[in-house]
């Protein structure tokens, strides 16, 4: 049975993982940063080494294209993920899908496989959304969900403009996003959760993805002396923010979703001053659209109650709104069959994290392959997938790509 070069796969994951580390060993490759440019340069070299055509579109998405005279008029099979990271990140998230995609194509080519359609591996821009918002921006623009000029004008958390940074780092391309219309898209990824590790499952056939709603909440109260102001006479924005956090936990325990207050800032942020302001983010997720919308409606109602009970003013700003995604059942079954053929345990999964695949699902049949994350840890330096699990996932990826691309000798 044809297999990828597992040693090369892991060597490249570790090589890319070394890029973006600071003096304390914290790995950070934010979108369009100098560190990400270094990572892009390395990946671009691997794309060229595999004898693929390297193309960069206007939003900075990188593609390695394998096509022949016989199949160049066919719609391509697209694979891939991203290489940007969160702050102080692990080395597998996204990178496995990009490096694994290059390895799959190289393996097929070296074995003399001819495919009925082109195969294209992509590394999408700003998937994490740490420096620029929204997350999954490159794939969103590629799928037509956001105008490229709007995305390029996005101002980052550090005051930079995405388009200017892509140009500065040499990764502002010339072709329009969406220049290739894929026949299908498949993404290999670590689970980023504990289910596969706990259940000792080797392959996840991802059949759907949670909806994700982000908002920024601003609560305005009144600053006053922490020692002289009686509790009953306070308009404490910090207390109101804490109440929201508790309310969210109770809300999702009933609905089956998840909620996170991931960032919070108090004003004036002094130890002996009652907070006059609280600004925080709310991340609401649920695989059921109706339940997600009901949770958000309940939260809005709670804001109205809190304004009355705590004498504060509350305003909200929408940051992200992505509905749940149902992946293509035919591709999911192909993943299950490929796992079975290699004697690997497999189960159907829901992706709790946002992925580039959810954006590509807007324009073509899509699915994902998961491999285990030990302890369910991700977005953390302790993120870890065993070499044998990463290689097994890449081999299933190989078989799925060969099947969907119509590969034969």
Report the interhelical angle of 34-49 vs 95-110 (nearest 10°): 10
* Within a domain: 398: yes
User: Which range among 5-9, 96-100, 111-115, 320-324 shows the weakest confidence by mean pLDDT?
Assistant: 320-324
28 and 155 together in one domain: yes
Q: How many domains does the chain have?
A: 2
Residues 6+ apart with CB under 8 A from 46: 12, 99, 102
The annotated binding site is made up of 82, 93, 128, 189, 379
CA-to-CA distance for 375 and 373, rounded, in angstroms? Answer: 6
Over the stretch 106-156, which tens digit does the pLDDT of each residue have? Answer: 999 999 999 999 999 999 999 999 999 999 999 999 999 999 999 999 999
CB 323 within 8 A of CB 289: yes
Compute the half-sphere exposure of residue 330: CA atoms within 13 Å on the CB side of its CA: 7
Burial track 16-29 (b if 16+ CB lie within 10 A, e otherwise):
bbebbbeeeeebbb
- Report the pLDDT value the prediction gives residue 402, as an integer from 0 to 100: 97
* Within a domain: 359: yes
For the chain, count helices (H), then strands (E). Answer: 12, 14
| Domain end point (choices 291, 322, 353) | 322
What pTM, to 2 d.p., does this model score? 0.88
- Report the pLDDT value the prediction gives residue 320, as an integer from 0 to 100: 86
Instruction: Report the 10 Å Cβ neighbour count for 230.
Output: 7
The DSSP code for 30 is -
Domain containing residue 86: 6-209+324-404
62 and 180 together in one domain: yes
Structure tokens at 49: 């080494």
Burial class of 109 by CB neighbour count within 10 A (0 to 12, 13 to 18, 19+): middle
The DSSP code for 102 is H
204 and 219 together in one domain: no
- Mean pLDDT computed over 96-105: 98
CA-to-CA distance for 320 and 313, rounded, in angstroms? Answer: 23
301 and 356 together in one domain: no
- Mean pLDDT computed over 58-77: 96
CA-to-CA distance for 119 and 68, rounded, in angstroms? Answer: 10
- Report the pLDDT value the prediction gives residue 98, as an integer from 0 to 100: 98
* Within a domain: 409: no
* Within a domain: 1: no
- Mean pLDDT computed over 1-21: 97
- Mean pLDDT computed over 71-97: 97
* Within a domain: 179: yes
Confidence of residue 195 (pLDDT cuts 50, 70, 90): very high
* Within a domain: 130: yes
53 and 162 together in one domain: yes
CA-to-CA distance for 179 and 128, rounded, in angstroms? Answer: 23
The angle at the Cα of 390, spanning 351 to 373, to the nearest 5 degrees, equals: 45
- Report the pLDDT value the prediction gives residue 83, as an integer from 0 to 100: 98
Question: Mean of the per-residue pLDDT values for the chain?
Answer: 97
16 and 128 together in one domain: yes
Over the stretch 210-252, which tens digit does the pLDDT of each residue have? Answer: 999 999 999 999 999 999 999 999 999 999 999 999 999 999 9
CA-to-CA distance for 263 and 247, rounded, in angstroms? Answer: 16
Confidence of residue 408 (pLDDT cuts 50, 70, 90): confident
pLDDT for residue 409 is more than 90: no
Confidence of residue 335 (pLDDT cuts 50, 70, 90): very high
| Domain end point (choices 301, 322, 343) | 322
278 and 138 together in one domain: no
Compute the half-sphere exposure of residue 117: CA atoms within 13 Å on the CB side of its CA: 20
The annotated binding site for Zn(2+) is made up of 82, 93, 128, 189, 379
160 and 305 together in one domain: no
238 and 367 together in one domain: no
* Within a domain: 116: yes
CB 188 within 8 A of CB 79: yes
Burial track 305-336 (b if 16+ CB lie within 10 A, e otherwise):
ebeeebebebeeeebbebebbebbeebbebbb
* Within a domain: 244: yes
55 and 198 together in one domain: yes
* CATH number of domain containing 257: 3.30.70.360
| Domain end point (choices 322, 347, 377) | 322
Compute the half-sphere exposure of residue 388: CA atoms within 13 Å on the CB side of its CA: 3
Report the interhelical angle of 95-110 vs 6-17 (nearest 10°): 150
- Mean pLDDT computed over 322-347: 97
Over the stretch 265-314, which tens digit does the pLDDT of each residue have? Answer: 999 999 999 999 999 999 999 999 999 999 999 999 999 999 999 999 99
pLDDT for residue 380 is more than 80: yes
pLDDT for residue 407 is more than 80: no
* CATH number of domain containing 76: 3.40.630.10
373 and 230 together in one domain: no
27 and 48 together in one domain: yes
CB 287 within 8 A of CB 318: no
């Amino acid at each position: 049975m044809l297999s990828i070069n597992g040693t090369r796969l892991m060597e490249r994951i570790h090589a890319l993982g070394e890029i973006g580390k600071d003096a304390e060993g914290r790995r950070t490759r934010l979108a369009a940063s100098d560190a990400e440019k270094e990572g892009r340069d390395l990946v671009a070299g691997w794309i060229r080494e595999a004898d693929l055509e390297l193309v960069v579109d206007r939003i900075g998405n990188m593609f390695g294209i394998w096509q022949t005279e016989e199949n160049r008029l066919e719609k391509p099979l697209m694979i891939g993920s991203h290489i940007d990271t969160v702050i102080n990140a692990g080395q597998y998230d996204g990178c496995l899908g990009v490096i694994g995609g290059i390895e799959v194509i190289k393996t097929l080519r070296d074995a003399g496989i001819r495919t009925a359609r082109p195969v294209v591996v992509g590394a999408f821009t700003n998937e994490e959304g740490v420096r620029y918002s929204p997350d999954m921006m490159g794939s969103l623009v590629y799928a037509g969900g956001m105008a490229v000029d709007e995305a390029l004008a996005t101002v980052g958390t550090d005051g930079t403009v995405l388009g200017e940074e892509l140009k500065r780092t040499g990764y502002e391309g010339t072709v329009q996003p969406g220049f290739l219309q894929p026949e299908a898209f498949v993404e290999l990824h670590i689970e980023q959760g504990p289910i596969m590790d706990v259940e000792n499952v080797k392959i996840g056939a991802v059949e759907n993805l949670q909806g994700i709603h982000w908002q920024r909440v601003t609560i305005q109260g009144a600053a006053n002396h922490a020692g002289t102001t009686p509790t009953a006479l306070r308009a404490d924005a910090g207390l109101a923010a804490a109440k929201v956090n508790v309310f969210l936990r109770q809300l999702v325990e009933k609905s089956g979703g998840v909620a996170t207050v991931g960032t919070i800032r108090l004003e004036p942020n002094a130890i002996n001053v009652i907070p006059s302001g609280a600004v925080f983010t709310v991340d609401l997720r649920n695989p059921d659209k109706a339940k997600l919308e009901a949770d958000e409606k309940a939260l809005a109602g709670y804001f109205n109650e809190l304004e009355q009970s705590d004498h504060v003013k509350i305003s909200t700003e929408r940051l992200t709104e992505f509905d749940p995604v149902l992946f293509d059942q035919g591709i999911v079954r192909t993943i299950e069959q490929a796992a079975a053929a290699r004697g690997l345990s497999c189960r159907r999964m829901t992706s709790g994290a946002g992925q580039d695949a959810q954006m590509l699902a807007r324009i073509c049949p899509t699915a994902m392959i998961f491999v285990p994350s030990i302890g369910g840890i991700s977005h953390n330096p302790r993120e870890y997938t065993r070499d044998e699990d990463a290689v097994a996932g890449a081999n299933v990826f190989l078989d799925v790509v060969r099947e969907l691309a119509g590969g034969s000798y």
